[in-house]
Each structure stands twice: as C-alpha cells, then as structure tokens.
C-alpha cells in the first residue's frame, strides 16, 4: 500500500519547503513536486505541516518506586506519546543483581505490548571489575548508553572514580554516558535536617535539593568527560547555572550535551506550595522564574541540544480509580507521601504534552523557530542516540514516522484530552494552538484526529549504533 501526502509544507531541522511525500510500505520512498503513484491513497495536506515523528529520549514506563509503579506502561505511555506526535521513545532499564542481560530481558518482556518504536538506556547504578568488563556486551544488545547518578546515595549513586572509568569504557566502545547531576551528599544532609525540624510539605522536596548542587555536579561531569576525552549527556537540566556551565564547557571543546524538559520551562517551587503541590514533585525539582527564563534562552540560543520529558507519571490520588479504555484503573500514587515529602513518588506525566505545549509556547511566541522545534523534538535526539537518519528525518529511505501537524488547530488542553494514564495534567485548561492531525508509524496511520488506530505489540525495539556528538 502506498500513500501520498499532497500539498503540505515539509518542516525539518534545517529546512521548510513545499513538496509531496510518497510512503511505500514502511519508509519514505520519494519527496518531490506533483508526485503520482498507481492506486496510492492521497491525503490532502494543504495548509498543514509535515514533520518527522517526535523522538523522546527520556521516559520511565513501568518504573517501580516507593512501593508503587509509574502509572503508564509500555502500551499506555506509547499510545499517549503517539497522540502528541511522538513515535519513538527511550526508556531506562533498572540494573538487577543478575547483570545486564537478565535486566534487559525483564524490560524487553514488559515492552512486548509496545505501541510505537522504542529503545533502552542502561542505568549504571553499580560498578566493579565484573560490571566494567561486561559493559561492552550492551552494544551487542543494541544498547549504547549508560546513565549514571551523582545523587541517591546508597541506592543509585556511583562515586566519581567509577563514573570516570565508565566514561573511559564508553569512549572505547562507541557508547555514551548520560548523567543525572545533583549533589547527593548535600541532599541527604538537608533532608535529614528538614525532617528533624518537622518540615514535611512538598516544597521541602525542592528546598532540600539546592540548584547549586546541580550546577557544580554538571561542571564536575564535564571536567571528567574532558579528562577522559569522552562525551557526556546531561539529563533534565533545570537551572540557569547549568545552562551557563554547559555553555562554558562546550566553548572549551568539552563533548558535553544538554537536555531540558518542558516542566522546567514553566513551573517553579511556588507550584509545590499549592494545596495540590505533590503533583509537581519530580527530581530534580522545579526552581524559579529566573531559571525558567535562562532555560528558554538556552533553547533559543542553541546552547541545549534536546527536550525530553522524563515522563514518569503517578496518580495524584491513587485511591480513586479513573477509566482508561473502558476499564477502571487505580494505582497507588502521590497520596503515599501525604504527610512526608520524602515518600511522594517522584515523577510527572508529559509524554503526550511535550510537542503541543512547546509549539504554542515556543514556536508561536518566537522563543524558538519551527526548525529548532523539529531539531529538539526529533532530529537531535535521533542523531545523539544513533537512530538518524532512520528516525528523526524526512528523507528518502527513512522510516515513514510522520506527523501531519495543523498549526492553526485550537484545543483546550488537559486531562480530558490526554491519553496519559493518570488523574491529572500539568497543563490543565491551557489554550493551545497547533496540534497533530494524523500520526504515522513506519507508514501505518496510528492516530487519526481523536481516533486511535494503533495497537499493542506493533512497536519495535530499535538496536542502536554509535551516535553523534552535536
């Protein structure tokens, strides 16, 4: 079956131009003027934009935390992603005691219900000589990224020597280290002191994780990357100082790249002070309006490289079921920390929100260009994580992961429009202009307006090769 998208405007990371696009099977067969093909289905895209499907490099599905689990799995989260224009996501494998293959097998099993294409990163939360020797085996599994933490003492954090060695191993094996940058020692001390003083409300989640800890940790990781002559990718940057440090390091030739998330562009610690402040609990936390503004500058000036979501949703009140696909669902959520901020599951919904929200607030306001939007949402993560030009591109031979985007469609956004399997939305009642009209995964129409045409199990695992430093 062939499909021709006629009279649309193609939007890439570098170009905007009018052309027809021919889909044959699973790939883009031809791009050009006045395309014809026998018996092809023709879709009139007049007045619409044609974008490559979004690539979200940072999601957490089925993630165990604090005696519960993130409320989206590898079907519901993928479905929500597709409705927002995203066709590829990358999740994180939890490293179990039995090693890499055992851990990957668990996540591959959970992802059998995948509805869009996906890949994995490996959480490197333990390090010894055996693990060091086995890291290259991940490449054979198609996993070329390791995530390290400078926080979560005694659980996820590695010491600096182990992180440095991981950077060297990654360098020698065409892999990439991703880093969660906060100061774990400062966090542990401040948290203990806050609880001792009776400070248990959500705002203290932010107040015990000071921004300077993230700033110095980012610079420390950049310093280690420079010494190792390796690349490092900083996840979920949320402070003005991190943007400054990223710029400083990159100007000095360090191979460091940075990701931010939509929530850090809009919300602040004041949102944690609301009666429903637990909804905004994530790690790292919300900061200040000045941080919001500097992160936008980082995007507009090209200092940052990607926008991921860190999608990790939990119910606000898991004692009350919601209806999802005709069935009642209730999963314990943020009510678990009603009397203690340290017991509130850390994470937010965002996998569907990313592209529509950033189009309205970024492109339509002039903070970023439409081409930058495609770069941050799709092309740059595809390049960095070894998927380009199969993903993140409108090129002949690329997978036909395509979004027909209506730049003038107006929606009142919120939980009623969201397919994220949770009971709230951060962007409730926001007025958005610009929204996906149709979404194709490898040439198959999976979203048609408000209609879901995808299904469980149609997503494929993507084995990745070496990515680019951009």
Each residue's pLDDT tens digit, 52-76:
999 999 999 999 999 999 999 999 9
Cα–Cα distance between 346 and 69 in angstroms, integer? 11
Please write the tens of the pLDDT for every residue from 177-191. Answer: 999 999 999 999 999
Q: Which DSSP string do the residues of 41-104 spell out, in sequence order?
A: EEEE-TT-EEEEPEEE--B--S-EETTEE-S--TTHHHHHHHHTTEEEEEEEEPPPTT-HHHHH
What pLDDT score does 1 carry?
A: 83
- Residue 436, token pair as written in the block: 């996906």
Task: For 242-272, give the DSSP string.
Answer: HHHHHHHHHHTT--EEEEE-THHHH-BHHHH
- Beta pairing partners, 435: 406
- Rounded Cα–Cα distance for residues 131 and 358 (Å): 39
CA distances for 249 relative to 125, 175, 222, angstroms: 26, 20, 7
The DSSP bridge partners found for residue 432 are 411
pLDDT value of residue 40 = 96
Mean pLDDT of 23-44: 97
What residues pair up with 268 in beta bridges, in sequence order? 287
106 burial (CB, 10 Å; 0-12 / 13-18 / 19+) is middle
Give me the chain's average pLDDT, please: 98
CATH 3.20.20.140 fits 54-384, yes or no: yes
Q: Is the pTM of this model over 0.85?
A: yes
Burial grade of 253 (CB within 10 A; 0-12, 13-18, 19 or more) = exposed
Token pair of 209, please? 């994780």
Q: Residue 43 in contact with residue 82, Cβ under 8 Å?
A: no
Number of C-beta neighbours around residue 273 at 10 A: 13
CA gap 61, 91 in Å, rounded: 7
Kindly report, residue by residue over 226-252, the tens digit of the pLDDT. 999 999 999 999 999 999 999 999 999
Q: Could you read off the pLDDT of 292-306 as tens digits, one per residue?
A: 999 999 999 999 999
The two tokens of residue 94 are: 């939890």
> pLDDT class for 36, splitting at 50, 70, 90?
very high
Can you give the residue ranges of every domain in the chain? Answer: 2-52+393-408+432-452, 54-384
Distance from chain centroid for Cα 88: 10
- CATH code that applies to domain 2-52+393-408+432-452: 2.30.40.10
Report d(CA 257, CA 469) in Å as an integer. 8
């Amino acid at each position: 079956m062939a499909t021709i998208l006629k009279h649309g405007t193609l939007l890439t990371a570098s170009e905007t131009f009018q052309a027809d696009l021919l889909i044959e099977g699973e790939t883009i067969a031809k791009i050009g003027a006045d395309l014809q093909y026998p018996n092809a289905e023709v879709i009139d895209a007049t007045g619409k934009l044609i974008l490559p499907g979004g690539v979200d490099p940072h999601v957490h599905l089925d993630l165990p935390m604090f005696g519960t689990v993130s409320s989206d799995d590898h079907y519901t989260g993928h479905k929500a992603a597709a409705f927002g224009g995203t066709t590829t996501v990358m999740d994180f494998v939890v490293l179990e005691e039995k090693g890499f293959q055992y851990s990957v097998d668990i996540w591959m099993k959970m992802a059998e219900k995948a509805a869009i294409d996906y890949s994995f990163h490996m959480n490197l939360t333990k390090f010894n000589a055996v693990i060091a020797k086995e890291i290259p085996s991940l490449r054979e599994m198609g996993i070329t990224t390791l995530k390290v933490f400078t926080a979560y003492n005694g659980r996820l954090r590695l010491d600096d020597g182990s992180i440095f060695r991981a950077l060297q191993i990654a360098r020698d094996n065409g892999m990439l280290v991703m880093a969660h940058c906060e100061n774990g020692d400062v966090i542990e001390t401040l948290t203990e002191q806050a609880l001792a003083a009776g400070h248990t409300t959500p705002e203290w989640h932010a107040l015990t994780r000071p921004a300077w800890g993230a700033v110095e940790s980012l610079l420390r990781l950049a310093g280690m990357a420079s010494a190792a002559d390796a690349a490092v990718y900083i996840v979920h940057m949320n402070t003005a100082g991190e943007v400054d440090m990223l710029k400083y390091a990159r100007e000095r030739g360090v191979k460091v790249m940075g990701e931010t998330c939509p929530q850090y562009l809009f919300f602040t610690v004041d949102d944690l002070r609301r009666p429903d402040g637990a909804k905004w609990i994530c790690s790292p936390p919300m900061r200040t309006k000045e941080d919001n503004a500097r992160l936008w500058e980082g995007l507009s000036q090209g200092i940052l490289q990607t926008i991921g979501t860190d999608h990790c949703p939990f119910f606000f009140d898991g004692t009350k079921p919601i209806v999802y696909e005709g069935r009642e669902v209730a999963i314990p959520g943020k009510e678990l920390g009603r009397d203690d901020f340290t017991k509130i599951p850390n994470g937010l919904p965002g996998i569907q929100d990313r592209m529509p929200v950033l189009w309205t607030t970024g492109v339509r306001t002039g903070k970023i260009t439409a081409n930058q939007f495609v770069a941050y949402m799709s092309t740059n993560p595809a390049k960095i994580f070894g998927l380009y030009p199969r993903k993140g591109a409108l090129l002949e031979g690329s997978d036909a992961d395509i979004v027909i985007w209506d730049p003038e469609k107006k929606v009142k956004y919120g939980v009623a429009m969201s397919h994220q399997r949770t009971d709230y939305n951060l962007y409730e009642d926001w007025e958005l202009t610009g929204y996906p009209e149709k979404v194709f995964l490898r040439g198959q129409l999976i979203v048609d307006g408000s209609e879901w045409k995808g299904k469980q199990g149609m997503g494929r695992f993507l084995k990745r090769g070496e990515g680019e430093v951009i």
